Amino acid sequence: MIDRRFLLMNADLIRVYLRKSATFITLSGIVDKFRISGGRALHGRDSISGAKNSALPCMAAALLTPETVTLHNIPYVRDIITQRRLLEDIGATVLTPELRTHKITAAHVELFEAPYELVKTMRASVLALGPLLARFGKAKVSLPGGCAIGTRPIDLHLAGFEKFGAEVKLEAGNVVARAPSDGRLRGADIHFGKVTVTGTENLMMAATLARGYTTLRNAAREPEIVDLADLLNKMGARVNGAGSETIQIEGVESLGGAEHTIIPDRIETGTFIAAAALTQGELEIKDCRPDHLTSVISQLISVGVVIKEVNPTTLQVTCPDGLKAVNVSTAPYPEFPTDMQAQYMVLMTQAQGRSEIVETVFENRFMHASELQRMGAQIQIEGRTAIVDGPTTLNGARVIASDLRASASLVLAGLIARDETLIDRVYHIDRGYEKIEAKLRAVGANIERIIAPVTAAQSSEFNVQVTPTREQAEA
């Protein structure tokens, strides 16, 4: 029998050991769950962490230079640990003089690839492709397959690299790309057929070292794109127009070191706004960027949430008069983000009336709906539309997290449910939310992490996977 205190004290070490020794544990292991006793209003102050989806490309950008890139405000989440491992496997050194500061030096790159083992756990590993190809003229990245939220191809990234003059081949499940014979990509005029966030980031990074000028049209406009462009310009790149539909990049011979602070996480901010409103509490949300959440804030105000900007980095959230149903459709920035769709669905279960939520970005991002139904929510799915009737009382249940934002929605549901909710597979939430249970507990939530030892027999019941599989890698 394993001692529970031993497991709690050594959980991280055990996980590292398990990850190194196997990706799929069929013998004994540990698996985290959240136990939430719902019904408490949240009161107090919480601070927002750095944006995971900005930190990931900024870390990849460090591969563009042999000099040191220092990044501050890196969130302490699992995807960052995976990205760090990718950089280290490639040959970079990553120092963390402080918990949220990474000093990355890619002076001696020995490997020009992102292997299957990493790409299958985190799709954002494909962000290594652009920098490696641009700086070293070659790169190999395992082709990510579908995942819990859709098929998610990277054809637009690859078509862009071909326009830069690279030869791109698919060999044994890997994308193998080579620059033209002089080793350098050529600037190009690229029109994205569909708005893609990491596609824009990958091509923007590659273009910084390409010969000549690049124009990226129909580019993603997310704040994370602007943050990456800011870092690249500090490194000596010439990127203009990030944040608009057209980005222009003048290629330079080489890039140097830089120091940069990652922007606050707008999706974590939105999730905490939803938590305050749902529990009818009062939260002060610090260290955020309300200007990155314009569509989210206006949508939430339209449903009855009261959001006051205390200062440019602090919001105060209450919901004194309850929620009313309002339709929403997700779309690329600056529209309502797909990464807030699941959390919004929970709000609508508590709203007066019927609402329709249309998911236009991913084809399969309603996995949370069936778990919410198990808790008593009235939701029907018709293609890409979820029809929610409210308000309904949610009842605690045992539920399973299927992807990062779905997990966040289950936590929100647990906070307002009657009785106890037990959420399985919270490794999904650990990928992108820094210590969410500690932040929620600090403002009054009754939530605890259970680090449960799993025996061989239980592991098949729980389907214990210490490292998420390809199907579960969504970021």
* Using rule CB under 6 A, residue 265 touches ligand EPU: no
* Using rule CB under 6 A, residue 269 touches ligand EPU: no
* Using rule CB under 6 A, residue 304 touches ligand EPU: no
CA 170 to chain CA centroid, Å, is: 27
* Using rule CB under 6 A, residue 78 touches ligand EPU: no
Six-digit token pair at 151?
């098929």
Closest distance between ligand EPU and the C-beta of residue 301, in Å? 22
Residue in 25, 30, 55, 56 binding ligand EPU, rule: CB under 6 A:
56
Q: Which residues pair with 382 in a beta bridge?
A: 385
* Using rule CB under 6 A, residue 402 touches ligand EPU: no
Closest distance between ligand EPU and the C-beta of residue 338, in Å? 5
Q: How many residues bind ligand EPU (CB under 6 A)?
A: 26
* Using rule CB under 6 A, residue 242 touches ligand EPU: no
End-to-end CA distance of the chain: 36
Residue in 199, 390, 391, 414 binding ligand EPU, rule: CB under 6 A:
199
- Phi/psi for 345 (5° steps) reads -60, -40
* Using rule CB under 6 A, residue 153 touches ligand EPU: yes
User: How far apart are the C-alpha atoms of 228 and 188, rounded to whole Å?
Assistant: 20
Residue in 344, 362, 366, 433 binding ligand EPU, rule: CB under 6 A:
362
User: How far apart are the C-alpha atoms of 64 and 69, rounded to whole Å?
Assistant: 10
Q: Which of residues 313-332 bind ligand EPU (CB under 6 A)?
A: none
Write each residue from 104 to 143 as x if it is in contact with ligand EPU (CB under 6 A), else as -, in one continuous string. -------------------xx-------------------
Cβ density class 41-56: b for 16+ within 10 Å, e for less: bbeeebbbbbbbbbbb
Stretch of residues binding ligand EPU (CB under 6 A), selected from 28-36, 154-162, 419-427, 437-445 = 154-162
Stretch of residues binding ligand EPU (CB under 6 A), selected from 15-23, 150-158, 248-256, 269-277 = 150-158
| Residue 319 annotated in active site | no
Q: What does the DSSP 8-state code read for residue 99?
A: T
Is residue 371 within 8 Å of 437, Cβ to Cβ? no
Contacts of residue 383, Cβ cutoff 8 Å, sequence gap at least 6: none
Unique residue bearing structure tokens 């605690």: 396
Stretch of residues binding ligand EPU (CB under 6 A), selected from 59-67, 93-101, 197-205, 283-291 = 197-205
Closest distance between ligand EPU and the C-beta of residue 17, in Å? 27
Closest distance between ligand EPU and the C-beta of residue 439, in Å? 17
Helix (H, G, I), strand (E, B) or coil at 123: helix
Active-site position among 58, 147, 288, 319: 147
Stretch of residues binding ligand EPU (CB under 6 A), selected from 235-243, 248-256, 313-321, 334-342 = 334-342
The number of beta carbons lying within 10 Å of the beta carbon of residue 143 is 16
Closest distance between ligand EPU and the C-beta of residue 154, in Å? 4
Closest distance between ligand EPU and the C-beta of residue 453, in Å? 29
* Using rule CB under 6 A, residue 444 touches ligand EPU: no
* Using rule CB under 6 A, residue 48 touches ligand EPU: no
* Using rule CB under 6 A, residue 39 touches ligand EPU: no
Six-digit token pair at 180?
């033209």
Residue closer to ligand EPU by CB (options 133, 404) is 404
- Phi/psi for 293 (5° steps) reads -125, 30
User: How far apart are the C-alpha atoms of 410 and 421, rounded to whole Å?
Assistant: 9
* Using rule CB under 6 A, residue 155 touches ligand EPU: yes
* Using rule CB under 6 A, residue 341 touches ligand EPU: no
Residue in 270, 290, 304, 432 binding ligand EPU, rule: CB under 6 A:
432
Is residue 181 within 8 Å of 211, Cβ to Cβ? no
Of 147, 237, 249, the closest CA to residue 475 belongs to 147
Is residue 356 within 8 Å of 386, Cβ to Cβ? yes
Residue in 108, 169, 194, 398 binding ligand EPU, rule: CB under 6 A:
194
Tally the residues of the chain.
475
Q: What does the DSSP 8-state code read for residue 398?
A: E
**What percent helix, strand, coil does the chain show, rounded to 5?**
35, 30, 35
Closest distance between ligand EPU and the C-beta of residue 359, in Å? 10
Contacts of residue 461, Cβ cutoff 8 Å, sequence gap at least 6: none
Residue closer to ligand EPU by CB (options 123, 186) is 123
User: How far apart are the C-alpha atoms of 14 and 8, rounded to whole Å?
Assistant: 10
Contacts of residue 242, Cβ cutoff 8 Å, sequence gap at least 6: 204, 219, 225, 226, 228, 229, 230
Residue in 156, 219, 346, 423 binding ligand EPU, rule: CB under 6 A:
156
In the chain, the amino acid numbered 155 is D
Footprint on this chain of ligand EPU (rule: CB under 6 A)? 53, 56, 123-124, 150, 152-157, 194, 196-199, 337-339, 361-362, 404-405, 432, 474-475
Give the residue numbers marked as catalytic.
147
